Chain A
């Protein structure tokens, strides 16, 4: 099963003015897989994705390694589908020109060839009458067509990795599903791996091969999506899943007590310990390191004791 990794991240750390937002992540991206990065706002998942692309904010400092560094070849080998696909195209350029600009920036082709490739890409994502539509501006597209065009632009150079940063956050359930399905198809078509940043566990279940669950800048759990979602081994994953209405047993949903720690104000030991019903003194003093368990990597001293029912039992009144 473990195939040659496309991309290996080792001990990645991202800090802003000495406050670490990502604290030592290690994971691989494998060819053609869908890897989901999940976690709540502020967990560091978007920053991690940006680091892969070499598109971090200027005041960020990083350490650790990302090999090979695909960001040097951004556009050709790794591309981005940004948040809010409805506004992700330039309003003052015809859609075809935008795609052609992406082609011409990374390949030695003539203007005419780039245009032809742009039209072909629009056609591939199912935009009717692509040759004519390539000359239109984004405001002449429907919302659904704009999303398609964005995905076409991100896949036009047949990259190895597509990074999608919360591509569906602002959309309703139906649209979310459409976008993710199309993204999946296009990724298949060009043979790319997909790194999907999301906080939507339903999207993970439906689309991801593997999932990396992040909490307070660290990895809680990394493993096959089907296993992690059905038999979580990190207490945080269990809590996240338990709070989903899909898993609810009664009218009340289990919730995680407390709130995530602010970066820069982390508790000693495991960052999740203050909210964890299993936490021991060891958890409160010694930060757990990632270790293999059940075909995945878990960062928890008490991973063996974790079940999906964990939070149902300790539900406070």
Chain B
């Protein structure tokens, strides 16, 4: 019963997303005719007649349903329409972009697999322990940050490799690394966290006790770990589509991600529809491949057997690490908040760090520290609001496990960047839109967690004992179920705060979030790229701050599952879904 509910929700979500893509021109609510007119001929006056002509030309005067029908009909014929801006067919541009992106993602995936193997090997060789901490660190670094740093260090300062374009293999190295390293970290972390628990399973004792060699046991443990993780590997691969947008933009790679972003910014909706659809299909295809791989790995006899992994045991860093990170960030931000982020001082443009400007100034002579502090306040404030909203929705829907599971699947398959592009295309870029985009994909993991807890509590003997003493359903809900669920889920939500802030920053970086002159971390990093050779500190400050935030996200998140000492026989709490930023 449950899987069908989840399947239904999944299908419904997919239809909604595709329909949303199809309805983008109508959803955006603004007048695309104006955009198109400007793009086609800058001189022409936007008179009512001219706009009407464009509207008729584009078929925008039809209602939303007709529009959707038209688009879907074209889709079936393989016609994605024509670009509003360039007037060329959408399909060839999408195909060309897709080819480039597929190449890039293929190499990135190879990087990711190699890196994951390197991270997992020590765990296997030692037979226990975990390399998950370092892997998690790599996984948390957002692609846009890694890409920017790689661009600066290898490309600009050292000049080893080309930093833009798509001419040959040497162009592929940096983008593939920027895209592959976080994915490899994620894969490595999933396996490295799951392995110690598997190596503590009873069968390992039997095998060791029967004298089976460590190498054979390691191989067997890997075979035990991989199949249940394949769906999550699929998700990581899907995450590449989101990361590709940022990486392609930074390195000016003419891939589908950059095409989508460009189309969103220029309001070229047909092109946007085509490329987002391509990205979605890519994600779905990856998911399907993952399912196929899982079947191959498992063999026919095992398909139906419940092979749930024991709960993963992420390695915890010492509590002082997240605390220190938090303190450093909080103090920097606090200091920056006391200063004025908008004060332009043309006399002190791109000044080096000094007593008056501890972190230097930017191209307009604005104080970088002040902008960092105020940027954090707005980013964290927005993230907190998103967090709270996700928590409330997650809690409410946690009581409907089927819906929660299905929605969580879709949300995991949708990178925030793509949702951000869609929302920005519909509502225009801005802090609000970015917040909505991140909120849309932040609640499902919380709902899934809540659903797992609700199920666990409902199945527990002490709840049965509640009914036996004559307690009313209301008493049981308010005194037992809600308190057991709300506290851990709230903690979970809180620990996702840095991750949510990073997602917002990545949208800011891509120009889909806060707009200049607002100080926002992602935006700061983006702006500083232009003059990085002359004022590296201006780029360094937000980069370091973002890296610290990523580290905080990782080290703090391992504390999600507080050591709740239940009985040894008690069922472990449901899975913790990794967040891909």
Do any beta carbons of A and B sit within 8 angstroms of each other in the complex?
yes
Which residues on A are within 8 Å of B, measured CB to CB? 53, 55, 58, 73-76, 79-84, 87-94, 98, 101-102, 105-106, 136-137, 139-140, 150, 153-154, 156-157, 163
Q: Mark the stretch among B134-142, B199-207, B374-382, B465-473 that contacts chain A.
A: B199-207
Tell me which residues across on chain B come within 8 A of A89, comparing CB atoms.
203, 206
Tell me which residues across on chain B come within 8 A of A82, comparing CB atoms.
202, 205-206, 209
Name the distance in Å between A143's Cβ and chain B's nearest Cβ. Answer: 14
Tell me which residues across on chain B come within 8 A of A154, comparing CB atoms.
206, 209-210
Q: Are B212 and A80 in contact (CB under 8 A)?
A: no
Q: Are B211 and A91 in contact (CB under 8 A)?
A: no
Residues 158 to 179 of chain B near chain A (Cβ within 8 Å):
none
Which residues on B are within 8 Å of A, measured CB to CB? 128, 201-203, 205-213, 216, 220, 223-224, 227, 298, 301-302, 305-307
Which of A75, A94, A137 contacts B210 (CB under 8 A)? A75
Q: Are A90 and B203 in contact (CB under 8 A)?
A: yes
Q: Are B203 and A76 in contact (CB under 8 A)?
A: no
9 residue pairs, one from A and one from B, having the closest CB atoms: A75-B211, A80-B209, A102-B210, A139-B305, A90-B203, A82-B205, A88-B206, A106-B211, A88-B202
Q: Are B207 and A91 in contact (CB under 8 A)?
A: no
Tell me which residues across on chain B come within 8 A of A53, comparing CB atoms.
209
Name the distance in Å between A142's Cβ and chain B's nearest Cβ. Answer: 14
Which of B209, B213, B216, B224 contacts A79 (CB under 8 A)? B209
Q: Are A87 and B202 in contact (CB under 8 A)?
A: yes
Tell me which residues across on chain B come within 8 A of A150, comparing CB atoms.
206
Q: Are A58 and B208 in contact (CB under 8 A)?
A: no
Cα A53 to Cα B203 in complex, Å, equals: 16
Q: Are B205 and A55 in contact (CB under 8 A)?
A: yes
Tell me which residues across on chain A come within 8 A of B203, comparing CB atoms.
87-91, 98
Tell me which residues across on chain A come within 8 A of B213, comparing CB atoms.
105
Of B202, B210, B305, B306, which is in contact with the most chain A CB atoms at under 10 Å from its CB?
A: B210
Cα A150 to Cα B209 in complex, Å, equals: 11
Given contact pairs A84-B202, A157-B210, enumerate 10 new A-B contacts (beta carbons under 8 Å).
A76-B211, A87-B201, A87-B202, A91-B307, A92-B227, A92-B307, A105-B210, A154-B209, A154-B210, A156-B210
Q: Are A137 and B305 in contact (CB under 8 A)?
A: yes
Given contacts A101-B216, A136-B301, A139-B305, A91 and B208 within 8 Å (CB-CB) = no
Tell me which residues across on chain B come within 8 A of A76, comparing CB atoms.
211
Tell me which residues across on chain A come within 8 A of B208, comparing CB atoms.
55, 74, 80
Tell me which residues across on chain A come within 8 A of B206, comparing CB atoms.
80-82, 88-89, 150, 153-154
Name the distance in Å between A95's Cβ and chain B's nearest Cβ. Answer: 11
Tell me which residues across on chain A come within 8 A of B305, comparing CB atoms.
91, 137, 139
Given contacts A89-B203, A91-B224, A80 and B302 within 8 Å (CB-CB) = no
Name the distance in Å between A81's Cβ and chain B's nearest Cβ. Answer: 7
Which of B128, B211, B223, B224 contacts A102 (CB under 8 A)? B211
Q: Are A74 and B220 in contact (CB under 8 A)?
A: no
Cα A17 to Cα B216 in complex, Å, equals: 31
Name the distance in Å between B255's Cβ and chain A's nearest Cβ. Answer: 38
Cα A106 to Cα B307 in complex, Å, equals: 29
Can you list 30 pairs linking A and B with CB atoms under 8 Å apart? A55-B205, A73-B211, A74-B208, A74-B211, A75-B210, A75-B211, A79-B211, A80-B206, A82-B209, A87-B202, A88-B202, A88-B203, A90-B201, A90-B207, A90-B224, A91-B302, A92-B220, A92-B302, A101-B207, A102-B210, A105-B210, A105-B212, A106-B211, A136-B301, A139-B302, A140-B301, A150-B206, A153-B210, A154-B206, A157-B211
Closest partner residue, chain A, to B209 (CB atom)? A80
Cα A102 to Cα B209 in complex, Å, equals: 9
Given contacts A92-B307, A93-B220, A101 and B212 within 8 Å (CB-CB) = yes
Closest partner residue, chain B, to A157 (CB atom)? B211
Tell me which residues across on chain B come within 8 A of A58, comparing CB atoms.
128
Q: Are B202 and A92 in contact (CB under 8 A)?
A: no
Cα A91 to Cα B206 in complex, Å, equals: 13
Q: Are A55 and B209 in contact (CB under 8 A)?
A: yes
Cα A240 to Cα B182 in complex, Å, equals: 59
Cα A156 to Cα B224 in complex, Å, equals: 23
Cα A82 to Cα B210 in complex, Å, equals: 10
Given contacts A75-B211, A105-B212, A80 and B205 within 8 Å (CB-CB) = yes
Cα A82 to Cα B206 in complex, Å, equals: 6
Tell me which residues across on chain B come within 8 A of A55, comparing CB atoms.
205, 208-209
Of B128, B202, B302, B305, which is in contact with the most chain A CB atoms at under 10 Å from its CB?
A: B202
Given contacts A82-B206, A153-B206, A102 and B220 within 8 Å (CB-CB) = no
Cα A90 to Cα B218 in complex, Å, equals: 12
Cα A143 to Cα B86 in complex, Å, equals: 69
Q: Are B220 and A90 in contact (CB under 8 A)?
A: yes
Closest partner residue, chain A, to B213 (CB atom)? A105
Cα A153 to Cα B202 in complex, Å, equals: 14
Cα A58 to Cα B128 in complex, Å, equals: 10
Tell me which residues across on chain A come within 8 A of B128, comparing CB atoms.
58
Which of A73, A93, A105 contacts B223 (CB under 8 A)? A93
Tell me which residues across on chain B come within 8 A of A139, comparing CB atoms.
302, 305-306
Q: Are A80 and B224 in contact (CB under 8 A)?
A: no
Tell me which residues across on chain A come within 8 A of B201, comparing CB atoms.
87, 90
Cα A53 to Cα B227 in complex, Å, equals: 32
Tell me which residues across on chain B come within 8 A of A156, comparing CB atoms.
210
Cα A153 to Cα B220 in complex, Å, equals: 16
Given contacts A90-B203, A93-B220, A137 and B209 within 8 Å (CB-CB) = no
Name the distance in Å between B296's Cβ and chain A's nearest Cβ. Answer: 13
Cα A139 to Cα B306 in complex, Å, equals: 9
Cα A88 to Cα B201 in complex, Å, equals: 8
Cα A241 to Cα B565 in complex, Å, equals: 33
Q: Are B207 and A79 in contact (CB under 8 A)?
A: no
Tell me which residues across on chain B come within 8 A of A98, comparing CB atoms.
203, 207
Tell me which residues across on chain A come within 8 A of B207, comparing CB atoms.
90, 98, 101-102
Cα A136 to Cα B203 in complex, Å, equals: 16
Tell me which residues across on chain B come within 8 A of A75, comparing CB atoms.
209-212
Closest partner residue, chain B, to A93 (CB atom)? B220
Cα A74 to Cα B205 in complex, Å, equals: 12
Name the distance in Å between A186's Cβ and chain B's nearest Cβ. Answer: 13
Closest partner residue, chain A, to B305 (CB atom)? A139
Q: Are A92 and B212 in contact (CB under 8 A)?
A: no
Q: Are B220 and A105 in contact (CB under 8 A)?
A: no
Closest partner residue, chain A, to B204 (CB atom)? A90
Closest partner residue, chain A, to B223 (CB atom)? A92
Closest partner residue, chain B, to A154 (CB atom)? B210
Cα A53 to Cα B208 in complex, Å, equals: 9
